[in-house]
Amino acid sequence: MTSKILKLLFISIFSFSVFSCTSADKTASTAEEAFAIAQEFDKKDRYTVAIQRYNDVKNKFPYSSYATAAELAIADVHFRSEAYPEAQVSYQNFRELHPRHARIDYVIFQIGMSYYQQLPDTFDRDIALANDAVYSFNELIRRFPNSEYFPQAQEYRRKAFTMLNEKELYIADFYFKQKVYSSALLRYESSYRKFPGFGLEPRSLLGATKSAQKLEDRQKQSQYYGLLISKFPESDEAKEAKREGLE
Protein backbone atom coordinates (compact mmCIF):
# COMPACT_ATOMS: atom_id res chain seq x y z
CA MET A 1 0.00 0.00 0.00
CA THR A 2 2.78 2.34 1.00
CA SER A 3 4.76 1.56 -2.15
CA LYS A 4 1.72 2.35 -4.31
CA ILE A 5 1.26 5.73 -2.61
CA LEU A 6 4.93 6.54 -3.07
CA LYS A 7 4.73 5.55 -6.72
CA LEU A 8 1.70 7.78 -7.31
CA LEU A 9 3.40 10.65 -5.51
CA PHE A 10 6.51 10.22 -7.67
CA ILE A 11 4.43 10.23 -10.84
CA SER A 12 2.58 13.37 -9.72
CA ILE A 13 5.80 15.22 -8.93
CA PHE A 14 7.38 14.10 -12.19
CA SER A 15 4.35 15.16 -14.20
CA PHE A 16 4.23 18.55 -12.50
CA SER A 17 7.94 19.09 -13.17
CA VAL A 18 7.55 18.20 -16.82
CA PHE A 19 4.55 20.48 -17.14
CA SER A 20 6.36 23.36 -15.41
CA CYS A 21 9.43 22.97 -17.58
CA THR A 22 7.31 22.71 -20.70
CA SER A 23 5.40 25.87 -19.78
CA ALA A 24 8.53 27.81 -18.96
CA ASP A 25 10.36 26.62 -22.09
CA LYS A 26 7.63 27.53 -24.55
CA THR A 27 8.96 29.22 -27.67
CA ALA A 28 7.19 31.26 -30.31
CA SER A 29 7.91 31.96 -33.94
CA THR A 30 5.67 35.02 -34.23
CA ALA A 31 5.03 38.13 -32.17
CA GLU A 32 1.42 37.08 -31.67
CA GLU A 33 2.44 33.70 -30.27
CA ALA A 34 5.09 35.25 -28.02
CA PHE A 35 2.59 37.76 -26.66
CA ALA A 36 0.03 35.00 -26.03
CA ILE A 37 2.60 33.01 -24.05
CA ALA A 38 3.38 36.09 -21.93
CA GLN A 39 -0.32 36.56 -21.31
CA GLU A 40 -0.62 32.98 -20.05
CA PHE A 41 1.90 33.65 -17.29
CA ASP A 42 0.30 37.01 -16.63
CA LYS A 43 -3.13 35.49 -16.10
CA LYS A 44 -1.65 32.94 -13.67
CA ASP A 45 -0.11 35.82 -11.65
CA ARG A 46 3.38 34.59 -12.46
CA TYR A 47 4.50 38.18 -12.70
CA THR A 48 8.27 37.74 -12.92
CA VAL A 49 8.05 35.28 -15.80
CA ALA A 50 5.34 37.36 -17.48
CA ILE A 51 7.57 40.42 -17.49
CA GLN A 52 10.43 38.37 -18.92
CA ARG A 53 8.15 37.09 -21.66
CA TYR A 54 6.79 40.53 -22.48
CA ASN A 55 10.38 41.75 -22.72
CA ASP A 56 11.06 38.91 -25.13
CA VAL A 57 8.27 40.22 -27.34
CA LYS A 58 9.84 43.67 -27.31
CA ASN A 59 13.34 42.40 -28.02
CA LYS A 60 12.54 39.77 -30.63
CA PHE A 61 9.77 41.63 -32.46
CA PRO A 62 10.59 45.34 -31.92
CA TYR A 63 8.65 46.57 -34.97
CA SER A 64 5.49 44.63 -34.22
CA SER A 65 2.39 46.21 -32.71
CA TYR A 66 2.72 43.52 -30.05
CA ALA A 67 5.95 45.14 -28.89
CA THR A 68 4.02 48.27 -27.99
CA ALA A 69 1.31 46.19 -26.32
CA ALA A 70 4.01 44.38 -24.35
CA GLU A 71 5.40 47.69 -23.06
CA LEU A 72 2.02 48.64 -21.64
CA ALA A 73 1.47 45.13 -20.32
CA ILE A 74 4.74 45.30 -18.37
CA ALA A 75 3.56 48.50 -16.66
CA ASP A 76 0.24 46.81 -15.85
CA VAL A 77 1.99 43.79 -14.38
CA HIS A 78 4.08 46.02 -12.13
CA PHE A 79 0.91 47.79 -10.99
CA ARG A 80 -1.04 44.59 -10.31
CA SER A 81 1.88 43.16 -8.35
CA GLU A 82 1.90 46.36 -6.25
CA ALA A 83 5.35 47.38 -7.47
CA TYR A 84 4.08 50.95 -7.78
CA PRO A 85 7.38 52.83 -8.26
CA GLU A 86 8.25 50.48 -11.13
CA ALA A 87 4.75 50.86 -12.56
CA GLN A 88 5.03 54.64 -12.39
CA VAL A 89 8.31 54.65 -14.32
CA SER A 90 7.02 52.14 -16.88
CA TYR A 91 3.85 54.12 -17.58
CA GLN A 92 5.84 57.34 -17.87
CA ASN A 93 8.29 55.74 -20.29
CA PHE A 94 5.39 54.42 -22.34
CA ARG A 95 3.84 57.85 -22.47
CA GLU A 96 7.06 59.46 -23.67
CA LEU A 97 7.51 56.86 -26.39
CA HIS A 98 3.87 56.76 -27.50
CA PRO A 99 2.28 60.16 -26.75
CA ARG A 100 -0.50 59.63 -29.33
CA HIS A 101 -1.40 56.08 -28.33
CA ALA A 102 -5.11 55.27 -28.39
CA ARG A 103 -5.05 54.47 -24.65
CA ILE A 104 -3.02 57.47 -23.53
CA ASP A 105 -5.86 58.55 -21.22
CA TYR A 106 -5.55 55.22 -19.42
CA VAL A 107 -1.77 55.63 -19.19
CA ILE A 108 -2.08 59.11 -17.65
CA PHE A 109 -4.66 57.83 -15.18
CA GLN A 110 -2.39 54.93 -14.22
CA ILE A 111 0.54 57.29 -13.69
CA GLY A 112 -1.63 59.17 -11.21
CA MET A 113 -2.73 55.95 -9.54
CA SER A 114 0.87 54.73 -9.29
CA TYR A 115 1.75 57.90 -7.40
CA TYR A 116 -1.39 57.65 -5.29
CA GLN A 117 -0.75 54.03 -4.28
CA GLN A 118 2.68 55.03 -2.95
CA LEU A 119 1.15 57.44 -0.43
CA PRO A 120 1.31 56.48 3.25
CA ASP A 121 -1.82 55.56 5.18
CA THR A 122 -1.55 58.60 7.44
CA PHE A 123 -0.99 62.24 6.51
CA ASP A 124 1.55 62.83 9.31
CA ARG A 125 4.19 61.22 7.06
CA ASP A 126 5.68 62.47 3.79
CA ILE A 127 2.88 62.84 1.24
CA ALA A 128 4.71 64.87 -1.40
CA LEU A 129 3.72 62.35 -4.08
CA ALA A 130 0.11 63.46 -3.61
CA ASN A 131 1.00 66.56 -5.64
CA ASP A 132 2.24 64.38 -8.50
CA ALA A 133 -0.94 62.30 -8.34
CA VAL A 134 -3.09 65.43 -8.47
CA TYR A 135 -1.09 66.72 -11.46
CA SER A 136 -1.78 63.54 -13.46
CA PHE A 137 -5.46 63.41 -12.50
CA ASN A 138 -5.85 67.08 -13.41
CA GLU A 139 -4.29 66.46 -16.81
CA LEU A 140 -6.66 63.62 -17.57
CA ILE A 141 -9.67 65.67 -16.41
CA ARG A 142 -8.58 68.63 -18.54
CA ARG A 143 -7.62 66.74 -21.70
CA PHE A 144 -10.05 63.82 -21.73
CA PRO A 145 -13.44 64.88 -20.32
CA ASN A 146 -15.11 61.96 -22.12
CA SER A 147 -12.68 59.33 -20.88
CA GLU A 148 -14.09 56.34 -19.01
CA TYR A 149 -11.47 57.12 -16.34
CA PHE A 150 -12.74 60.68 -15.82
CA PRO A 151 -14.99 59.87 -12.79
CA GLN A 152 -12.23 57.88 -11.08
CA ALA A 153 -9.72 60.64 -11.74
CA GLN A 154 -12.07 63.11 -10.04
CA GLU A 155 -12.53 60.80 -7.07
CA TYR A 156 -8.85 60.15 -6.52
CA ARG A 157 -7.94 63.78 -7.08
CA ARG A 158 -10.35 64.66 -4.27
CA LYS A 159 -8.76 62.04 -2.01
CA ALA A 160 -5.25 63.29 -2.76
CA PHE A 161 -6.31 66.92 -2.19
CA THR A 162 -7.90 65.93 1.12
CA MET A 163 -4.66 64.32 2.24
CA LEU A 164 -2.70 67.44 1.31
CA ASN A 165 -5.21 69.60 3.17
CA GLU A 166 -5.08 67.35 6.24
CA LYS A 167 -1.29 67.63 6.16
CA GLU A 168 -1.48 71.42 6.02
CA LEU A 169 -3.86 71.51 8.97
CA TYR A 170 -1.76 69.00 10.90
CA ILE A 171 1.22 71.34 10.61
CA ALA A 172 -0.94 74.36 11.47
CA ASP A 173 -2.27 72.63 14.60
CA PHE A 174 1.27 71.73 15.60
CA TYR A 175 2.42 75.35 15.34
CA PHE A 176 -0.64 76.51 17.29
CA LYS A 177 0.06 74.05 20.10
CA GLN A 178 3.67 75.25 20.18
CA LYS A 179 2.35 78.84 20.41
CA VAL A 180 4.03 79.80 17.14
CA TYR A 181 0.89 81.64 16.14
CA SER A 182 2.25 83.50 13.11
CA SER A 183 3.26 80.24 11.42
CA ALA A 184 -0.02 78.62 12.44
CA LEU A 185 -1.97 81.48 10.89
CA LEU A 186 -0.08 81.18 7.60
CA ARG A 187 -0.86 77.45 7.43
CA TYR A 188 -4.55 77.90 8.23
CA GLU A 189 -4.79 80.62 5.61
CA SER A 190 -3.02 78.40 3.09
CA SER A 191 -5.41 75.54 3.81
CA TYR A 192 -8.45 77.74 3.28
CA ARG A 193 -7.07 79.33 0.11
CA LYS A 194 -5.60 76.27 -1.61
CA PHE A 195 -8.23 73.64 -0.86
CA PRO A 196 -11.73 75.07 -1.33
CA GLY A 197 -14.66 72.70 -1.55
CA PHE A 198 -13.13 69.75 0.27
CA GLY A 199 -15.07 70.11 3.51
CA LEU A 200 -12.31 71.34 5.80
CA GLU A 201 -12.87 75.08 5.40
CA PRO A 202 -14.58 75.50 8.81
CA ARG A 203 -11.57 73.97 10.54
CA SER A 204 -9.21 76.25 8.60
CA LEU A 205 -11.26 79.36 9.40
CA LEU A 206 -11.58 78.56 13.10
CA GLY A 207 -7.84 77.98 13.34
CA ALA A 208 -7.13 81.22 11.49
CA THR A 209 -9.53 83.13 13.77
CA LYS A 210 -7.92 81.76 16.93
CA SER A 211 -4.39 82.40 15.63
CA ALA A 212 -5.26 85.98 14.69
CA GLN A 213 -6.74 86.50 18.16
CA LYS A 214 -3.52 85.27 19.79
CA LEU A 215 -1.55 87.66 17.56
CA GLU A 216 -3.95 90.48 18.46
CA ASP A 217 -4.65 91.00 14.77
CA ARG A 218 -8.21 92.28 15.09
CA GLN A 219 -8.68 92.79 11.36
CA LYS A 220 -7.92 89.18 10.42
CA GLN A 221 -9.73 87.82 13.44
CA SER A 222 -12.90 89.64 12.41
CA GLN A 223 -12.40 88.67 8.75
CA TYR A 224 -12.07 84.93 9.36
CA TYR A 225 -14.74 84.85 12.06
CA GLY A 226 -17.13 86.55 9.62
CA LEU A 227 -16.37 84.03 6.88
CA LEU A 228 -16.87 81.11 9.26
CA ILE A 229 -20.21 82.35 10.57
CA SER A 230 -21.59 83.45 7.19
CA LYS A 231 -20.46 80.50 5.06
CA PHE A 232 -20.68 77.63 7.53
CA PRO A 233 -23.22 78.74 10.16
CA GLU A 234 -24.27 75.19 11.11
CA SER A 235 -20.75 73.81 11.48
CA ASP A 236 -19.36 72.72 14.85
CA GLU A 237 -16.54 75.20 14.32
CA ALA A 238 -18.96 78.12 13.94
CA LYS A 239 -20.73 77.10 17.13
CA GLU A 240 -17.40 76.86 18.94
CA ALA A 241 -16.37 80.30 17.72
CA LYS A 242 -19.60 81.76 19.05
CA ARG A 243 -19.23 80.01 22.40
CA GLU A 244 -15.73 81.35 22.82
CA GLY A 245 -16.71 84.86 21.80
CA LEU A 246 -14.18 85.13 18.97
CA GLU A 247 -16.09 87.81 17.07
Q: Considering only 26-35, 53-62, 66-75, 182-191, which range has the smallest mean pLDDT?
A: 26-35
Residue with the larger pLDDT of the pair 203 and 12: 203
* Average pLDDT over every residue of 191-218: 95
DSSP secondary structure letters along 176-222: HHTT-HHHHHHHHHHHHHH-TTSS-HHHHHHHHHHHHHHTT-HHHHH
Give the model's pLDDT for residue 247.
85
Q: Helices 181-194 and 150-177 meet at what angle, rounded to 10?
A: 170
Running DSSP on this structure, what letter comes out for residue 125? S
Among residues 225, 219, 226, 193, which one has the least CA distance to residue 207? 225
Give the distance from CA 173 to its chain's centroid: 26
pLDDT per position as a tens digit, 138-172: 999 999 999 999 999 999 999 999 999 999 999 99
pLDDT per position as a tens digit, 4-63: 434 433 434 333 343 344 444 567 689 999 999 999 999 999 999 999 999 999 999 999
The pLDDT of residue 111 is above 80? yes
The structure's pTM equals: 0.82
* Average pLDDT over every residue of 181-203: 95
Give the model's pLDDT for residue 3.
46
Running DSSP on this structure, what letter comes out for residue 86? H
Average of per-residue pLDDT values in the chain: 90
Q: Tabulate helix, strand, coil % of the chain (nearest 5).
A: 75, 0, 25
Give the model's pLDDT for residue 124.
77
Give the model's pLDDT for residue 123.
77
| For the chain, percent of residues with pLDDT exceeding 90 | 84
Give whole-number Cα distances, 65 to 58, 94, 105, 175, 176, in Å: 10, 14, 19, 56, 59
The pLDDT of residue 70 is above 50? yes
Residues 6+ apart with CB under 8 A from 99: none
The pLDDT of residue 90 is above 90? yes
* Average pLDDT over every residue of 88-116: 98
Give the model's pLDDT for residue 11.
36
Residue 151: how many CB atoms within 10 A of its CB? 10
Residue 222: how many CB atoms within 10 A of its CB? 15
